[in-house]
Amino acid sequence: MEFKMYRISVVLFAILLASGAHGQGGEDLAKELANPVSSLISVPFQNNFDYELGPLDQGRRYTLNVQPVIPISLNENWNLISRTIVPVVNQEDVFPQAPEKTGLGDTTQSLFFSPAEPVNGITWGVGPAFLLPTATEPQLGTEKWGAGPTGVVLKQTGGWTVGALVNHIWSFAGDDDRDDVDSTFVQPFFAYTTPDAWTFTLQAESTYNWEVEQWNVPVAFLVAKVFQVGEQTYQVQAGPRYYAESPDTGADGMGFRLSFILLFPAGK
């Protein structure tokens, strides 16, 4: 399954680069996508390919994250941004002789209350984050309910977007036989968008597990392009990920990401 999805993703990326044409406002849309709390409806399909997982470095995992982002205008001064991450996972050999598993992982739901306009040039949002035990296999999730705070702050000037997104989640219910969840997520990001709607992003997606005192730190360099074909606008994004630090059951070395993002600008 993973190899087929990898080939499909690469072919799709090549076709879109060859045939797509960005419409008016492509640069502005690309800048909005670099902002996690922009007033832009988007539906990313994020494909992640990771190898050399587990204590024997023989495991591999394919994760498709479906990540709808829906902004809701509360009034002329405030927005509520809903960001959902629903993972679909296929993995095998993460643990010695572990069978192949395919199914849903746990869902993360974040809500950001954000000013409708930047404050002194700074865009920010804060709110709650929730962990929902939606995994269809025990190996693909925590079997725990969790919650905690989340926040994002960033500044956009010229073509640059610089900021960070953080959250912390504690488990409060679920299977007593499973480990508690006590984890911090930190995502600093640096992005540059060109006038022709290319975006180059360097970001880390660091998670610290306080239960076992271990880091998982994939660092990604991603290249993205906004396109419009007919009435539909979208972005494709691809690039390598390097694991600067990972736990015993995590990935070593390199991974790869390819995302396909449906965009729904206001008024369309």
Rounded Cα–Cα distance for residues 163 and 114 (Å) = 15
Q: What per-residue string of b and e applies to 29-41 under the rule 16 or more CB within 10 Å gives b?
A: bbbbbbbbbbebe
% of the chain beyond a pLDDT of 90: 69
Give pLDDT, residue 149.
98
pLDDT of 24 higher than 90: no
Question: Cβ distance 112 to 70 under 8 Å?
Answer: no
| Tens of pLDDT, residues 199-249 | 999 999 999 999 999 999 999 999 999 988 888 899 999 999 999 888 766
Say if strands 122-132 and 69-73 run parallel, antiparallel, or are unpaired.
Answer: unpaired
CATH of domain 2-264: 2.40.160.40
Give pLDDT, residue 23.
45
Question: Cβ distance 153 to 37 under 8 Å?
Answer: no
Rounded Cα–Cα distance for residues 262 and 235 (Å) = 7
pLDDT of 14 higher than 80: no
List Cβ neighbours of 119 (8 Å cut-off, separation of 6 or more): none
Q: What is the residue extent of each domain of the chain?
A: 2-264
- The secondary structure of residue 251, as a DSSP letter, is B
Hey, is 16 helix, strand or coil?
A: helix
Hey, is 35 helix, strand or coil?
A: coil
Q: What are phi and psi of 5, to 5 degrees?
A: -65, -35
The mean of the pLDDT values for the chain is 88
Give pLDDT, residue 230.
82
Question: Cβ distance 95 to 249 under 8 Å?
Answer: yes
Query: Where does the pLDDT of residue 60 fall: very low under 50, low under 70, confident under 90, or very high at 90 and above?
Result: confident
Hey, is 9 helix, strand or coil?
A: helix
Query: What is the H or E stretch that residue 228 is in?
Result: strand 214-229
pLDDT of 10 higher than 90: no
Q: How far apart are the first and last CA of the chain?
A: 35
pLDDT of 123 higher than 60: yes
Query: Where does the pLDDT of residue 137 fall: very low under 50, low under 70, confident under 90, or very high at 90 and above?
Result: very high
Question: Cβ distance 109 to 130 under 8 Å?
Answer: yes
The two tokens of residue 241 are 């990920």
| Tens of pLDDT, residues 26-55 | 888 999 999 999 989 999 999 999 887 766
Rounded Cα–Cα distance for residues 89 and 79 (Å) = 32
Give pLDDT, residue 100.
86
Question: Cβ distance 259 to 46 under 8 Å?
Answer: yes
Q: What are phi and psi of 159, to 5 degrees?
A: -90, 0
